[in-house]
A and B are shown apart, each in its own frame.
Chain A
Amino acid sequence: MASTPHLDPASAPIIAPGHTFSSVTDKIASIVLARRTPLHWFLGFTIAFSVAQLVLLTIVRLLFWGIGSWGVTVPIGWGFDIINFVWWIGIGHAGTLISAILLLLKQEWRTSINRFAEAMTLFAVVCAAQYPLFHTGRPWIAAYWLLPYPNTMGLWPNFRSPLIWDVFAVTTYASVSAVFWYVGLIPDFATLRDRAKNKLMAMVYGIGSMGWRGSARHWHNYESAYLLLAGLATPLVVSVHTVVSFDFAVGVLPGWHATIFPPYFVAGAIYAGFAMVLTLAIPLRAWYGLKDFITDRHLDNMAKVMLATGLIVAYGYAMEAFFAWYSASSWEIFMIRNRMFGPYGHMYWALILCNVVAPNTLWVPRLRHSHAWLFFISLVVSVGMWLERYVIIVTSLHRDFLPSSWGMYQGTVWDWSFFIGTIGLFVTLLYLFVRFLPAISMFEMKTILPGARVEEHHS
């Protein structure tokens, strides 16, 4: 089943021709139900799982030594913890956008990528959550300053603080994404239950399917529930990163205190998210022979979304500089000059190279249709988005209003190990996901087959 090459992916079908209902199910279910786990899975999983151990190692070190093992210090009190938090949370946004907004807009091409994009969202939130949880070095006290509960101190979190809004935004995001993902899996769980080769597997998938029999009533309820959930998830695409941007924009620091932050952060999140979906989709379709389902057209569409959001982000960078000049505030002007030409100037220009210059190569169809180039660009964008958060956080903090309190920041080996460890954790979870759950929605794929189209007859 080699994929048919199309001269123009933009008009190609969203599923390779020749597929039937059973061939779609066979292809996707076989990855999960195969008795033998492919060797490359074991190899990849072992590497990722080993890297994930860095998370444990860093946390143990953190709990025994405190956050002195990290690079944060006055005046840079926010370092890798918040950089990585924002980076991971941003990555998750593509999943929600694909699953909710593209569903409501009836963008059928989303069907083959929504399942693993949602999984990616959840796993990114898991990674992101590590940072706020551990950033004080005393996670057991996180309970009372993160969550409002009747504690013996008679204390409530500061509801006027954007940090507490962030807690609600992220927990809502995580729970809605998890429910959405699970509800989407129910019919596929039933398929796996029916095809399971042994009793245990049948029971596990059977519990997951919640007694799904595929009756018309089931489908009717299901479709309404799924649409309602999509409606619930839609505002989250915009709200979560808006609230994350408030963490900065509500502060009075030059470089943070800007009205452009919410839209600019949301665009950046979707940009980073699509880069990550591409980073995952390109190898996934090659390794598991899924090129019929995740077609060149999908990659082309995602590349275009990435390019469009990248341009919004570039506009954000331009506006930051413009505002600094237009404000005529000496603090703002100093901040942007320091950001561009100060001690972290090289990071700023690297960020411009990664996030503004590199993705513009995707205007050229030949480059956009080259999978190797697209994969490379999506990695570059991920790096660029990380640099963006680094530049925003560190350059705004390190030289504030009082020159006597200026300082420099650098992540320590433990900062890096925590970051690399969460990447390992993310990849580990993805490996488990691909092996145990259908990475592409089987029942939704069938709805886009030509055989699923019923002609309507009007009398």
Chain B
Amino acid sequence: MAQIFPKSANALAQASIIVAGALAATAGGALYWLQRSPYVTRQHETREQPVPFSHQHHVGGIGVDCRYCHTAVEKSAKAGIPPTKTCMNCHAQIWNDSPTLEPVRQSFRDGKSIAWTKVNDLPDFAYFNHSAHVNKGMGCSTCHGRIDLQPLAWQEHSLQMEWCLECHRNPEKFVRPQDQVFNVAWQAPANQIEVGKELVKKYGLKPRTSCSTCHR
């Protein structure tokens, strides 16, 4: 009786086992990587803004404190986007004829807010409170990165739940002295874990990881 398959079919059959395994592993790895990639998270991607506001210039260059504009950050859930009037405190005097700032003056004249593009946009089902964090030794730059080095702001981290939990499960890795919270250039000391554990105790940090902490 004639053979149905050539002799090479044996090798192919054996190779198919390895290839199938490799394909499955590759597909799994690719999905793992893709889901965390900036393509999905939009991490480190600058967003277009109606006015090209530079944190690098205002924070890094001039040294404006975070709270000068984000006034509510210590008292409320949202840090707050400053009203146009805050811009005009200075820009009524300086750069007051710059064409780049025309949308700011326009907004000031007709009382319509500038429609800034939100950069760090959490999903609506996740609750986040700025005041709870900045009053307990969690610094701005822990989440927002070196804002003083960002010409147009980007999202520094993935904002995925595993990223939130990384800190909620190990706050000692990230906590800093309360007087350093608004220091955007703060660097963790070499003995951060040691200091962190002290601070966790001192500030009474009990970051919760139950579902309803954030999904209320």
Chain A residues at the B interface, C-beta cutoff of 8 Å: 150-155, 193-194, 199, 202-203, 206, 210-211
Contact = CB atoms under 8 A, between A and B. Distances in A.
B32 interface: yes
Given A210-B13, A211-B10, A211-B13, A153 B5 contact: no
14 contacts: A152-B161, A152-B162, A153-B160, A153-B161, A153-B162, A154-B165, A154-B166, A193-B4, A194-B1, A199-B4, A202-B4, A203-B4, A203-B5, A211-B13
Contacts of A202: 4
Contacts of B1: 194
A152 B13 contact: no
Given A150-B32, A211-B10, A206 B162 contact: no
A199 B158 CA distance: 55
Nearest to B40: A152
A265 B150 CA distance: 64
B179 to A, nearest CB: 31
A154 B161 contact: yes
Nearest to B166: A154
A152 B4 contact: no
B49 to A, nearest CB: 27
B36 interface: yes
A155 to B, nearest CB: 7
B18 to A, nearest CB: 16
A203 B9 CA distance: 11
Given A152-B162, A206-B4, A211-B5, 15 more contacts: A150-B32, A152-B36, A152-B158, A152-B160, A153-B160, A153-B165, A154-B166, A155-B161, A193-B4, A194-B1, A199-B4, A202-B4, A203-B4, A210-B13, A211-B9
Interface string B4-45: 110001100100000000000000000010011000000000
B5 A206 contact: yes
A381 B169 CA distance: 53
Contacts of B5: 203, 206, 211
Contacts of B13: 210-211
Contacts of A155: 161
Nearest to B41: A152
A212 to B, nearest CB: 12
A243 B77 CA distance: 45
